[in-house]
């Protein structure tokens, strides 16, 4: 068993495809298949199998993945520490991000500052919903990730204060208000986002005894905005998850205010690799200047 073989297993699990795994690793599909067969032969068990959705890990494969991620992460940390000793800032850092809130609003300035200090470092960004990013952190698929604060499972560096807003047609009566009472959404045709902040919106409505008519469930913000633009519904979303309001659409704060804090998270700051700790420090310095 080699670290290269374990990296193939990890990449195959993430890509769910031999061809995509080969592309990410910069090798051939046959080399990926050979590495997997070598591991299966060594352990005498089936580690992965093809199904309708692509490649899926078996129970044995899932168990090996947990250790494989730990071993490759430790090897990467050792390599980075030796590189630091030679004053070489090299290596790869994986960060989990969720949608525009972190990918568009937080990451670009952080990455620019980080790359300026560590031009030899590679940063791989993977984007999914905030719930999936949480799982990636717990599984050690990524070393750092953006999360909604508070979350007691992680050590978190708060970075930005956000708020939930009402998304309204510009000609709607509620659009004339400076802030929209959450209760005023009762009875209105409503689009509920199925993206990351979706599970947070329902408790906000319930807590404020608001009962809109949830007719539409969309994952793409552009679909929500188009329905609102056509006057078909209203919606609620986190402000930093939204683009500039298109013509015919307005955003209004909710009353009472519904704040949301987003931060950078890890399992343990003291155990971060040198690159991850350097990125954490960059974010920490940036948060002090905001």
Number of H helices, E strands in the chain: 10, 12
Pairing state between β 249-255 and 155-169: antiparallel
Q: Tell me, yes or no, if the pTM score tops 0.85.
A: no
pLDDT number for residue 145: 95
**What is the reported pLDDT for 88?**
41
Q: Return the pLDDT at 229.
A: 96
What is the structure's pLDDT at 86? Answer: 46
Q: What is the pLDDT of residue 192?
A: 93
From first to last of its 290 residues, what are the pLDDT tens digits of the chain?
A: 788 888 888 888 888 888 888 888 888 888 888 888 888 888 888 888 877 778 888 888 888 888 888 888 777 767 666 655 444 456 788 999 988 889 989 999 999 999 888 888 889 898 988 888 999 999 888 999 999 988 899 999 999 999 999 999 999 999 999 999 999 999 999 999 887 677 789 999 999 999 999 999 998 899 999 999 999 999 999 999 999 999 999 999 999 999 999 999 999 999 888 889 999 999 998 776 55
Length of the chain: 290
Q: What is the pLDDT, as a whole number, of residue 114? A: 92
Q: How far apart are CA 100 and CA 10, in angstroms?
A: 27
Using CB atoms within 10 A of its CB, is residue 255 exposed (0-12), middle (13-18) or buried (19+)?
A: middle
pLDDT at 108: 93
Q: What is the largest CA-CA distance in the chain?
A: 69
Residue 189: count other Cβ atoms within 10 Å of its Cβ: 15
State residue 164's pLDDT score: 96
Residues 237 and 136: their CA atoms lie apart, in Å, by 24
**Quick one: CA dihedral 233, 198, 180, 247, positive or negative?**
negative
Amino acid 199: pLDDT: 77
State how far the Cα of 279 lies from the Cα of 261, in Å rounded to an integer: 19
d(CA 259, CA 224): 21
The per-residue pLDDT for 290 is 59
The reported pLDDT for the residue numbered 85 is: 40
Give residue for tokens 């807590």. 207
Two tokens at 268?
A: 């343990």
**Coil vs helix vs strand at 122:** strand
Distance CA 253, CA 239 (A): 9
CB 190 within 8 A of CB 215: yes
């Amino acid at each position: 068993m080699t670290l290269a073989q374990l990296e193939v297993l990890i990449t195959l699990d993430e890509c769910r495809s031999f061809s995509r795994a080969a592309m990410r690793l910069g090798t051939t599909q046959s080399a990926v298949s050979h590495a997997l067969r070598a591991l299966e032969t060594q352990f005498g068990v089936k580690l992965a199998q093809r199904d309708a959705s692509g490649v899926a890990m078996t129970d044995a494969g899932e168990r090996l993945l947990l250790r494989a991620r730990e071993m490759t992460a430790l090897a990467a940390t050792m390599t980075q520490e030796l590189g630091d000793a030679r004053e070489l800032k090299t290596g790869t850092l994986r960060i989990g991000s969720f949608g525009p809130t972190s990918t568009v609003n937080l990451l670009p300035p952080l990455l620019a500052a980080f790359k300026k200090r560590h031009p030899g470092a590679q940063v791989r960004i993977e984007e999914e919903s905030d719930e999936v990013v949480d799982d990636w952190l717990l599984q050690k698929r990524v070393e750092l990730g953006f999360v909604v604060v508070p979350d007691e499972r992680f050590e978190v560096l708060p970075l930005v204060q956000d708020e939930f807003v009402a998304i309204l047609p510009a000609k709607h009566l509620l659009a004339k208000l400076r802030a929209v009472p959450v209760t005023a959404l009762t009875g209105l045709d409503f689009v509920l986002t199925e993206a990351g902040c979706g599970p947070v919106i329902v408790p906000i409505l319930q807590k404020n005894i608001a009962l809109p008519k949830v007719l539409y469930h969309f994952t793409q913000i552009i679909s929500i905005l188009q329905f609102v633009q056509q006057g078909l519904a209203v919606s609620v979303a986190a402000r930093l998850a939204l683009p500039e309001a298109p013509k015919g659409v307005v955003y209004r704060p909710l009353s009472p205010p519904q704040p949301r804090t987003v931060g950078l998270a890890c399992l343990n700051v003291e155990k971060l690799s040198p690159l991850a700790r350097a990125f954490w420090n960059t974010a920490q310095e940036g948060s002090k200047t905001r």
